[in-house]
Structure 1
């Protein structure tokens, strides 16, 4: 028996979920990848449907071998089904069988060169092998404008700006290419500015390292840049293990990261090096109170909070 049915892509086992690459914080140019959230599967047999849905289920619970076997059965029933090729490519990617997955992804991309989902999976499979799309150009419909636009977008989202420009520059001008090129150039300038700031900071550390560490850590605390604060405070402690402020900065970062017990250990160690700095002591006590509150020890949390001296 055959029938027509709709498969909602967002409600069934992650089928055709848009890759995370398209959810970057920075807004990207509009792209017409798929208008509908439903895929129309036409006149497939009951056996195909059962295998296909079961494959999605097995892939969803990370049983990739079984998912692949079921999809291969689907492929026998529908040899020209590109969606099955795509799902096989994704399953082989998840199972770390990159070379086999690449073959199926190439089939899917060549069948629909403008499909962003298909190309994204192919790019990931190729990169997992330490290669680039350039190495398989001859196997693709690489003259397709939409394919190249999508590839440039993928590289942009991966922050591979030079590769994105290399793909984008020869293309026929359009609103899409102009907007994406503008975003790439802006991103490259931002990276260059950040690199220059890091170089300047390194120079400052070389000239007056102790004060430079202190200034930079204060800036990171104020900007709530926790990842860099943790890294730099650890570096500062390795270099200057007797400086209490560096213990405070590291403990503050650990608290923000949810590693409260580690924060307590660092902060209480740092208290041993305190010398007549009431303002810094207050910061230690407050941070320790926060850490003990986070682990549910209200007695010690209140004890440290009571030590905070007003007016500093």
Structure 2
């Protein structure tokens, strides 16, 4: 078992190399991904077995089992910060946000410059409608590396104004100047897209016929053909607000989320559509394929393959 775990940890280390290179190159283009960062120098066989099985159970979304195993790891090694971080992620995935926050704070407090720990805690606090600043952790103002990491995280989450607010407080460096430039470019593109969406919505809403189920379907099909995903998201959301039991509109919104890299949002809306599917095999196939794409987007091949197996050929 120990040899197997060592191989897994080595593989995880290889997969995390882009973040390692961030520390040296500080490239703001690097994506923030879920991490199972593990560095264990000495551990008992019981700890090793429980930890390895916890990662496996979390990977197949059996979060209750994963949490119990991680708590056993915590009992065996109460000071292990990696376990705190894994518990934060497992509780977060299980939608127990208070416990997720507590373990996330413990991990970050122990290693305030760890980008992974910070990203996990920020994501948890977002779900609670809170921010890292609201926790009033002393390390926030004292640790310049943490603030730099936080600006990068906000940028990757498209929270551009929050990122700029942090950057204005920091001493200028080449990296921070480059990041600020990228943020300002993103704000400009976002505002331009909003103007296009507003204009399109004004034009397309001028006719009452476009606000029917058939009208929305026609508009959505046209937006999919032209790859106009920003407007597609808005039109699909509007269609769902007016016709919340139409699975095609869930599919359209999920499709747009997939095409813009918002895979977790896509999963949420696409899985909601399954409650309204009744006998439409062709649409079911599209939704299953879109779900497979979304789960592949978050590197969950187990769920992706599960949905692909649901696709019925010939439709």
**Bucket of the pairwise TM-score, normalised by the shorter protein:** 0.5 to 0.7
2: CA distance, partners of 1:30 / 1:206: 37
Matched, 1:225 2:228: yes
CA offset digits 1:164-195 (Å, max 9, x no partner): 11112111111221111111100111111122
- 1:50 aligns with 49
For residues 22-33 of structure 1, the aligned pairs below 5 Å read: 29=28
CA offset digits 1:228-277 (Å, max 9, x no partner): 459759989xxxxxxxxxxxxx9xx89x99x8846xxxxxxxxxxxxxxx
- 1:91 aligns with 90
5+ residue gaps, structure 1, are 20-26, 237-249, 263-293, 298-312
Shift of 1:209: 9.2
1: CA distance, partners of 2:69 / 2:56: 11
Structure 1 residues 79 and 16: alpha-carbon distance in aligned structure 2, compared to 1, 3 A threshold: farther
- 2:66 aligns with 67
- 1:287 aligns with none
- 1:6 aligns with 6
Structure 1 residues 46 and 218: alpha-carbon distance in aligned structure 2, compared to 1, 3 A threshold: closer
Query: Contact between 2:37 and 2:82, CA under 8 Å: does it hold in 1?
Result: no
- 1:160 aligns with 159
- 1:239 aligns with none
Shift of 1:123: 0.6
1: CA distance, partners of 2:15 / 2:71: 18
Matched, 1:137 2:136: yes
Alignment root-mean-square deviation, CA: 4.5
For residues 140-219 of structure 1, the aligned pairs below 5 Å read: 140-202=139-201, 204=203
**How many pairs are equivalent?**
235
Query: Contact between 1:110 and 1:141, CA under 8 Å: does it hold in 2?
Result: no
Larger helix share, 1 or 2: 2
Shift of 1:149: 1.2
Q: TM-score, normalised by structure 2?
A: 0.59
Query: Contact between 2:38 and 2:82, CA under 8 Å: does it hold in 1?
Result: no
Query: Contact between 2:54 and 2:65, CA under 8 Å: does it hold in 1?
Result: yes
Structure 2 SS opposite 1:224: coil
Query: Contact between 2:27 and 2:175, CA under 8 Å: does it hold in 1?
Result: no
1: CA distance, partners of 2:130 / 2:64: 25
Shift of 1:141: 4.6
The runs of at least 4 aligned residues of structure 1 exceeding 6 Å deviation read 14-19, 206-210, 216-219, 233-236
Query: Contact between 1:88 and 1:101, CA under 8 Å: does it hold in 2?
Result: yes
Structure 1 residues 71 and 15: alpha-carbon distance in aligned structure 2, compared to 1, 3 A threshold: farther
CA offset digits 1:22-67 (Å, max 9, x no partner): xxxxx95267x9xxx9844212111211111122122222222222
Structure 1, 102-111 or 221-230: larger mean CA deviation: 221-230
- 1:242 aligns with none
Structure 1 residues 198 and 96: alpha-carbon distance in aligned structure 2, compared to 1, 3 A threshold: closer
Structure 2 SS opposite 1:159: coil
Shift of 1:97: 1.2
Query: Contact between 1:29 and 1:180, CA under 8 Å: does it hold in 2?
Result: yes
2: CA distance, partners of 1:129 / 1:103: 12
CA offset digits 1:55-82 (Å, max 9, x no partner): 2122222222222222122122222211
For residues 220-259 of structure 1, the aligned pairs below 5 Å read: 220=223, 223-225=226-228, 228=231, 232=235
The structure with the largest alpha-carbon Rg is 1
- 1:126 aligns with 125
Shift of 1:132: 1.3
